[in-house]
């Protein structure tokens, strides 16, 4: 049996599903918090530090074209500062969102550390027309 070790909490990340709604005329800002064995928002947070995260958005799962990409490397995904190191925030600016066609999309977010790459969030996104332009 192989002894698996990781310097991060990547193996403790669950696979979560969610839905987002945003508009073409706004920054897409949503936060998710990873908690340790509790549904209580004030409970202990899973430490996300030491991991990179990447998001890809597509029209349908089999599509080859990525219509939007976000990552912790470019600041469009952000891990919270202590003591909020269990928060992952989507921070896609309006300059990106305004280039997308209003529609329904699918996406996922993967976590990456020195040893593993793990899908952690699957989501549906509804992108609405922004009225105020």
Report the distance separating Cα 52 and Cα 78, nearest Å.
Answer: 9
User: In this structure, which topology does domain 14-128 adopt according to CATH?
Assistant: Immunoglobulin-like (2.60.40)
3-state secondary structure of 49: coil
Smallest Cα–Cα separation from 121: which of 77, 74, 85?
77
pLDDT by residue for the chain (133 residues), tens only, comes to 445 556 899 999 999 999 999 999 999 999 999 998 767 777 789 999 999 999 999 999 999 999 999 999 999 999 999 999 999 999 999 999 999 999 999 999 999 999 999 999 999 999 999 888 7
The ranges assigned to domains in the chain are 14-128
Q: Which helix (H) or strand (E) holds 97?
A: helix 94-97
Based on its alpha-carbon atoms, the radius of gyration of the chain, rounded to whole angstroms, reads 16
Smallest Cα–Cα separation from 77: which of 56, 98, 55, 58?
55
């Amino acid at each position: 049996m192989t002894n698996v070790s990781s310097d991060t909490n990547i193996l403790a990340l669950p696979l979560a599903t969610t839905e987002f709604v945003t508009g073409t005329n706004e920054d897409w800002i949503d936060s998710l918090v990873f908690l340790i064995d509790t549904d209580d928002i004030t409970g202990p947070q899973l430490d996300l530090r030491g991991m990179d995260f990447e998001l890809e958005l597509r029209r349908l799962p089999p599509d080859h074209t990525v219509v939007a990409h976000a990552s912790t490397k470019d600041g469009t995904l952000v891990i919270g500062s202590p003591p909020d190191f269990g928060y992952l925030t989507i921070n896609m600016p309006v300059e990106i969102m305004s280039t997308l066609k209003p529609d329904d999309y699918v996406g996922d977010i993967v976590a990456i550390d020195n040893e593993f790459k793990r899908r952690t969030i699957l989501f549906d996104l509804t992108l609405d027309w922004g009225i105020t332009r």
